[in-house]
Amino acid sequence: MGEIKGIIHSTESFGAADGPGVRYIIFMQGCRMRCRYCHNPDTWSMEGDNTTVSMSPGEVLEKALRYRSYWKDKGGITVSGGEPLLQIDFLLELFRLAKAEGVNTCIDTAGNPFTREEPFFSKFRELMNYTDLLLLDIKEIDPERHRNITGFGNENILDMAQYLSDIGKPVWIRHVLVPGLSDFDEDLDRLGGFIRTLGNVRRVEVLPYHTLGKFKWENLGIKYTLPDTFPPSAERVENAQKKLGAGKYAP
């Protein structure tokens, strides 16, 4: 068996929004979901292009460790995407090496690849041994509305959230608030109720929809289907925060 390689879209040396403290963020290439508001459609293709790089877990960790002095007690590495769980073999080896170095590890995921079927589930269970925190982006609680947003249902994603609660793995729940797509009072109430059943939630974040990635769709020649959708009002953001319990959980 050859050396594991990951397809890397890009990295960020001083991330401050994707996990506790200062983070070195690795953006993995590849995602099956087709979120209608995605601000990184250039990460969708599993093959990547001439801007992506193929690296081993050891090579990625070596680069990350150059910034360790900035992490202090809370910082570390976050693997985002794309969808990092699509490259679970790479992720497993990277986090195994990182924990051997005492590095805090975090996964930013929408949960779409999760299944209790093998061989994925055994790998995922082992991965959790080396993972300190997951940022789980729940796009919508209603399965049909979730399918409208992403092209996929959400049953396995909610099952993943339940599994992480069962094993006591800390998570931050994120919800992107999009007018007309994921901003419905009845669904926010349901999602808030679901979150309250979980015993492992450390933070809830409402992320307001924005159009900063729209130009990427145009550059890639992909039709953007939300041309008349604008960011939610401050009142709707506050409403979602209250219904989901943002601020009630201690990270």
- For the chain, list residues with pLDDT below 70: 1-2, 249-251
> Would you state the pLDDT for residue 64?
97
> Would you state the pLDDT for residue 83?
98
> Would you state the pLDDT for residue 251?
54
> Would you state the pLDDT for residue 250?
57
Query: Which residues, at least 6 apart from 69, have a Cβ–Cβ distance to it below 8 Å?
Result: none
CB 60 within 8 A of CB 5: no
Distance CA 13, CA 153 (A): 34
> Would you state the pLDDT for residue 73?
86
Q: Tokens 């590495």 map to which residue? A: 77
Rounded to the nearest integer, the mean pLDDT of the chain is 95
Rg for the chain (alpha carbons), in Å?
18
CB 187 within 8 A of CB 223: no
CB 58 within 8 A of CB 101: no
CB 150 within 8 A of CB 33: yes
- 220 exposure class (CB count in 10 Å sphere: 0-12, 13-18, 19+): exposed
CB 8 within 8 A of CB 152: no
